[in-house]
Amino acid sequence: MKPVEAIADYGDLCGECPTWSPRDQVLYWSDISGRKLYRYAWPARTHEVHHEGVEVSGIANHASGGLVIVNSEGIWLWKADGKLHLVVDTVEGRKCALNDCIADPEGRLFTGSCFFDPNSDDYDLGFLLRVEKDGTAQIVDEGIHLANGLGFSPDCSTLYFADSAARIIYAYDYRKDDGAIRNRRVFARIPGDQGIPDGLTVDAEGFVWSAQWFGGCIVRYDPDGTEQQRIVIPASQSSSLTFGGQDLTDIFVTSASLLDALSLAPTNYRSDGGAVGGPLFHLNLGICGKPDYEARLQVDLT
């Protein structure tokens, strides 16, 4: 196995949202706390700060070009001209303070809200949200502590979703025709002496990959939820991952340098015990990912 390599280091406070654009052969990722969006032109091996001043806590490619982003203020279309257009900021009278997102096969968007307070046990629980292509939004599940990574199985029969504070990756039955989800169940429960599940993705064989914040690793689970492989990342706050590259065998892993949510850390965790995070990492195991779907939100931009 080739070693894990740091390929860009901007000292990200909270590196997140790695998203591969097959159309442009470009990787996007963000620093949520630093309010930066980065762009890595992978064939040329060049990277840059693509935009500053906007919080980005979730990214999906849009079929018409540009991106869909989510953040603590809602869901936005980010057009190629650099302009932001609000899609949704409240649903059923509740604020859309959102973290992570994914487009489904029909171009809808799924995303989760997050009101988690690491300094208190008294905070509002969040919800899982589905946004239709016309921009209308509906709460499809509730009782979420800290919404995080989302992914679809290759046959699109299952949606995976991580609740970091609950230390659980859930699985739902998913119906492509109308985007309905049901039968929430525990796919994987992460023990208290390990990190917490953060961003996730699914490979072409149907194995689920999860980055472990405080765990300094990415973990591959088989379709039954059994841990199959664990790969050490030289950053204890490994935050998310995605597949990319021309043949989707390159794995990109984000990390975070700003210590956060220490109340969720395993009992044996030491923040001074090594590299916390900040760089973007890369590895290639010869395992093929699957392309993410593109959002097809069609809303009035006037």
Q: Alpha helix (H) ranges present in 41-146? A: none
Query: pTM here?
Result: 0.96
108: in domain: yes
The rounded mean pLDDT for the chain is 95
- Which tops the pLDDT comparison, 55 or 267? 55
35 near 54, Cβ under 8 Å? yes
Q: Long-range pairs for 186-191 at CB < 8 Å and ≥24 separation?
A: 186/225, 187/160, 187/221, 187/225, 188/221, 188/225, 188/227, 191/167
Q: Is 173 a catalytic residue?
A: no
3-state DSSP: the chain helix, strand, coil percent, rounded to 5? 0, 50, 45
Q: What is the pLDDT of residues 252-299, one digit of tens each?
A: 999 999 998 898 999 889 877 779 999 999 999 999 999 999 999 987
298: in domain: no
Which residues have C-beta within 8 Å of that of residue 170, sequence separation ≥ 6? 160, 161, 162, 163, 184, 185, 186, 187
Residue 169 pLDDT more than 90? yes
Mean pLDDT within 52-74: 96
Q: Look at residues 58, 4, 53 and name the one whose alpha carbon lies nearest to residue 231.
A: 4
pLDDT at 299: 75
The structural domain count of the chain equals 1
Which residues have C-beta within 8 Å of that of residue 121, sequence separation ≥ 6? none
Supply the range of the domain harboring residue 241.
5-284
290: in domain: no
User: What's the Cα-to-Cα distance from 122 to each of 117, 119, 186, rounded to whole Å?
Assistant: 8, 9, 24
CATH of the domain at 276: 2.120.10.30
**Cα–Cα distance, 199 to 218 (Å, whole number):** 10
Pairing status of strand 217-221 against strand 227-232: antiparallel
pLDDT at 119: 78
49: in domain: yes
Question: What 3-state class would DSSP assign to 262?
Answer: helix
160: in domain: yes
Residue 80 pLDDT more than 90? no
203: in domain: yes
**Cα–Cα distance, 173 to 252 (Å, whole number):** 28
**Cα–Cα distance, 240 to 213 (Å, whole number):** 9
Q: Residue 237 has what DSSP assignment?
A: B
Q: What is the pLDDT of residues 209-250, one digit of tens each?
A: 999 999 999 999 999 999 999 999 999 999 999 999 999 999
**Cα–Cα distance, 72 to 165 (Å, whole number):** 18
**Cα–Cα distance, 29 to 46 (Å, whole number):** 14
Question: What 3-state class would DSSP assign to 35?
Answer: coil
292: in domain: no
When mean pLDDT is compared across 13-27, 81-95, 212-226, the lowest value belongs to 81-95
When mean pLDDT is compared across 44-48, 69-73, 77-81, 83-87, the lowest value belongs to 77-81
Kindly indicate the confidence band of residue 301, based on its pLDDT and cuts at 50, 70 and 90: low
228: in domain: yes
**Cα–Cα distance, 76 to 74 (Å, whole number):** 7
When mean pLDDT is compared across 21-25, 122-126, 175-179, the lowest value belongs to 122-126
pLDDT at 267: 86
Of these residues, 198, 203, 260, 292, which one is catalytic? 198
**Cα–Cα distance, 205 to 1 (Å, whole number):** 19
